Amino acid sequence: MKKFSKEEIRVLINLLDFSKIKGELLPVITQDLENNEVLMLAFANKEAIEKSLETGFMHYYSRSRQKVWKKGENSGHFQEIEKVIVDCDNDSLLMTVKQIGGACHEGYYSCFYRNFKNGKFNEIRKRIFNPKDVYGN
């Protein structure tokens, strides 16, 4: 797990361009360290990025709940940061993580568990946990 110093965090935050997206949120693509599978796409504000880098665990900003949350705080399915990669415009992040459990709240390892074929969505992955067992109703 990678943790960053206060100085490294300050430098990165100052280099990122939060101005392009309403609410100063950056898209964050999260990718599995072991197999390069895309696990999820979420958003992060400055606070979420700072908490992620300070703790070594992914934090995101929930647009529906209007707050920062730590991935795995309810499920125990944490994401340990390994690498931080920034796009060419400094307005998107690619976070490479060690995924513990499933990334998807629907019970799949990745949020990208369906394809679109023959006019419908088709599951292409198996569910690895029952969401009701983890989150309740």
The pLDDT tens digits of the residues spanning 76-89 come to: 999 999 999 999 99
CATH 3.10.20.810 given to domain 6-101: yes
Question: What pLDDT, in 10s, does the model give residues 85-115?
Answer: 999 999 999 999 999 999 999 999 999 999 9
pTM of the predicted model as reported, rounded to 2 decimal places = 0.92
Listing DSSP states for 61-97 in one string gives EETTTTEEEETTTTTS--EEEEEEEE-TTSS-EEEEE
Cα–Cα distance, 71 to 55 (Å, whole number): 12
If you average pLDDT over residues 33-50, what whole number do you get? 97
- In the chain, the amino acid numbered 80 is E
Encode pLDDT of 61-76 as tens digits. 999 999 999 999 999 9
For the chain, the structural domain boundaries read 6-101
Residue 22 has pLDDT above 80, yes or no: no
Given a contact cutoff of 8 angstroms between Cβ atoms, the answer to whether 109 and 30 are in contact is: no
> Of all helices (H) and strands (E), which one includes residue 49?
helix 46-55
Helices 6-15, 46-55: crossing angle, 10 deg rounding: 150
Q: Is the pLDDT of residue 29 over 90?
A: yes
